[in-house]
Structure 1
């Protein structure tokens, strides 16, 4: 990479030797080439087919040439966007319904957490699918049809709807992909929901994304905050086996180190921001001067987008695509005004759609059919409890106890 002109190193290796992660680029190249071939055929047809002569007769030949160039791009867009819209005709119409369906399950998440507190205290001992504390994460991921929970009652739904009405959408509800809140983290939730815990606004951002204020509201109305103070009997029992398992890991590492096969201490993962830093350092050392000038110009004129700008970009994209007007109040800061208008709109839509999805939920209950998954997840990739079970049994074995969960 020493030459200033040799920006893109050439790879003369055969296709069979191509690295796996370059397959994407080849697939994209094939797709674009297919589009280009189709465009050439369409353009030639528009320009040369006599059956269009009458159509273009009112215009000079140059117009037909310009039309052919623009038409192939417009036609491709119809194919790309139109096909997606045809396959998902209600995509825009149902976005708020889908959000409401995801939000509905917060009711069951709170019931499951309360049940977890009782199970840990051994007030409840028989919960389908639960033998260790980590199993509650598995139940949480598949909350829609958990046999451990009773159906959502009208009273429970009314209480939740009351909370949604007074909640701050951006802080408490903006979670369409169910990724902001950790529903079953027992240790953290006990600390976060304690009466003497600092208010949400005073906590770090990472903490804000880990607890739902619905839990606090629910406790205040039901008195279930008492469950936070139940003794964690089961967790204490498990910790004894986890200590034994960890001791086994330390012994294995010591043996490996003595044999000269200790694990590689170097990082095996870098977060995205460190990858960018590493890319800058790599280019500065190995790329030609011209590419580094381009890099410096790019970094200067296009710095990484902030979370606030990324949020605003998402909001404006949504507002441009919505089918109804969204009122924006006057403000000296158009960004904040737009943000507030968007979240107020989403809050109204959520309140309208929650009763709809609840009635649909009740209908499925009465028919005896399963509730659909709230997210498109392959739960086999999210079920870590199966590994925790094995590790805990290893700990029991190290202490000379039976390899079962009867403890």
Structure 2
């Protein structure tokens, strides 16, 4: 798209630094007033939690002003090179370290060895599994852990697509369930690889004291509320009205709004570019002709000879070869991601909307149900209605 006629083209903006700063600060306020006025013209925001809507409008106006001010940067970034092409994949794989650190913490927490303010019940580990990069109590990633992850990625026996690694890394019951041979067959390969090199495998021997007590109290509380409901069954109950969903202020949510309501085609294009830069690369997980062709095209970009291992299925061999190439590229990029991670940690900044995540944490409806069961169970046992057990 040609941006020569862009309303906020650099030729239309004050040249001096001070005037330029003031211009875009005023523009941000203007954008906020515009979206605030638009809120009254359509019902899009009515479906969401209103506190989150206000936060969305503020962040949207700020992001829109940022796109207008730095539009040339976003245009150039849309043509990013091979290294940047895999950046988001690399960041996602880097999170495997965070998941393992959270898993180790969970094992210690369940054994009553540590207390954590942001963990009320075992359910909260599932919450932080979904928001791992915003988890506030994880210790910093160490260089040794980064080195281990790079070893894991370069190991030919671990040529899995990183998109296949997205599941509940904190599902204690599933991971710790032994099969008929007495093995932990659901244990992620990455966890075993890490334990064997960091010597943390002994954490698996810790007892699940918290989980057992939690189940006991929750069962008592659940049974109490079930019986209470049966007694009131004859009385028409007030229909349950679920709370409105939370409107997150992420790049994708902002793009959806811009595509639906923005009139300026240049602004929409900039939101599209920003969203595209935030997207994950497509997966090569399934074996079909189109994806085999895609895997071959992927291997063509390599600037070195990529070895291919033998396999009874040549298509499987090509798929694995392409995935190993991706893993090697990611392994090469991990250090850059780690450096950025350390820099942000040192200055106390985050790439996420941590405030939004904490708001969702406090409003988690499933967590509220579970805590109500546990506290009622404690009350039935004549014990304090707290989580100090």
Asked if Structure 1 and Structure 2 have the same fold, meaning a TM-score greater than 0.5 normalized by the shorter chain, the answer is yes
Task: Give the distance between the partners of 1:331 and 1:106, measured in 2 at CA.
Answer: 28
Tell me the equivalent position of 1:130: 119
The answer to whether the 8 A contact 1:100-1:354 is kept is yes
Task: Give the distance between the partners of 1:247 and 1:142, measured in 2 at CA.
Answer: 31
The answer to whether the 8 A contact 1:97-1:353 is kept is yes
**Counterpart secondary structure, 2:162:** coil
How many Å apart are 1:393 and its aligned residue?
Answer: 2.4
In the alignment, does 2:135 pair up with 1:146?
Answer: yes
Tell me the equivalent position of 2:219: 243
* 178, 186, 190: which one aligns with 2:172: 186
Q: List aligned pairs for 1:373-388, cutoff 5 A.
A: 380=360, 383=364, 384-388=366-370
- Greater alpha carbon shift after TM alignment, 391-400 vs 85-94: 85-94
Task: Give the distance between the partners of 2:377 and 2:383, measured in 1 at CA.
Answer: 9
Task: Give the distance between the partners of 2:307 and 2:347, measured in 1 at CA.
Answer: 43
Tell me the equivalent position of 2:163: 176
**Counterpart secondary structure, 2:385:** coil
RMSD over aligned Cα atoms: 4.2
Q: What is the TM-score normalised by the length of structure 2?
A: 0.56
Tell me the equivalent position of 2:70: none
The answer to whether the 8 A contact 2:110-2:207 is kept is yes
The answer to whether the 8 A contact 1:138-1:385 is kept is no
How many Å apart are 1:215 and its aligned residue?
Answer: 1.0
**Counterpart secondary structure, 2:349:** coil
Tell me the equivalent position of 1:64: none
For structure 2, the residue ranges without an aligned partner over 5 or more in a row are 1-73, 238-283
Task: Give the distance between the partners of 1:229 and 1:197, measured in 2 at CA.
Answer: 13
* 367, 388, 395: which one aligns with 2:377: 395
* 290, 295, 317: which one aligns with 1:337: 317
Task: Give the distance between the partners of 1:256 and 1:335, measured in 2 at CA.
Answer: 62
How many Å apart are 1:179 and its aligned residue?
Answer: 1.9
Task: Give the distance between the partners of 2:106 and 2:202, measured in 1 at CA.
Answer: 13
Deviations 1:7-52 (A, max 9, x none): xxxxxxxxxxxxxxxxxxxxxxxxxxxxxxxxxxxxxxxxxxxxxx
The answer to whether the 8 A contact 1:92-1:322 is kept is no
Q: List aligned pairs for 1:211-230, cutoff 5 A.
A: 211-230=187-206
Q: Report the count of equivalent residues.
A: 266
* 350, 356, 375: which one aligns with 1:370: 350
How many Å apart are 1:322 and its aligned residue?
Answer: 8.1
Task: Give the distance between the partners of 2:80 and 2:353, measured in 1 at CA.
Answer: 18
Task: Give the distance between the partners of 2:228 and 2:287, measured in 1 at CA.
Answer: 45
For structure 1, the residue ranges without an aligned partner over 5 or more in a row are 1-83, 201-206, 262-306
**Counterpart secondary structure, 2:119:** coil
Task: Give the distance between the partners of 1:168 and 1:104, measured in 2 at CA.
Answer: 19
Q: Cα gap change, 1:247/1:114 in structure 2, threshold over 3 Å: closer, same or farther?
A: same
The answer to whether the 8 A contact 1:116-1:136 is kept is yes
Deviations 1:130-189 (A, max 9, x none): 122222222333322433221111122222222222263444xx2338623x22122332
The answer to whether the 8 A contact 2:220-2:373 is kept is no
Q: List aligned pairs for 1:280-359, cutoff 5 A.
A: 313-314=290-291, 316-317=293-294, 320=297, 324=301, 333-359=313-339
Q: Which has the larger radius of gyration?
A: 1
Q: Cα gap change, 1:107/1:321 in structure 2, threshold over 3 Å: closer, same or farther?
A: closer
Deviations 1:301-360 (A, max 9, x none): xxxxxx985666445446557872596859774422331232122122111111121111
The answer to whether the 8 A contact 2:152-2:158 is kept is no
Task: Give the distance between the partners of 2:102 and 2:326, measured in 1 at CA.
Answer: 27
Task: Give the distance between the partners of 2:295 and 2:182, measured in 1 at CA.
Answer: 39
Task: Give the distance between the partners of 2:330 and 2:133, measured in 1 at CA.
Answer: 19
Deviations 1:48-106 (A, max 9, x none): xxxxxxxxxxxxxxxxxxxxxxxxxxxxxxxxxxxx98884439763421111111121
Q: Cα gap change, 1:308/1:95 in structure 2, threshold over 3 Å: closer, same or farther?
A: closer
Task: Give the distance between the partners of 2:351 and 2:382, measured in 1 at CA.
Answer: 43
In the alignment, does 2:132 pair up with 1:156?
Answer: no
Tell me the equivalent position of 2:105: 115
Q: Cα gap change, 1:359/1:156 in structure 2, threshold over 3 Å: closer, same or farther?
A: same
Tell me the equivalent position of 1:100: 90
The answer to whether the 8 A contact 1:364-1:370 is kept is yes
Task: Give the distance between the partners of 1:369 and 1:186, measured in 2 at CA.
Answer: 31
The answer to whether the 8 A contact 2:219-2:373 is kept is no
Q: Cα gap change, 1:363/1:327 in structure 2, threshold over 3 Å: closer, same or farther?
A: same
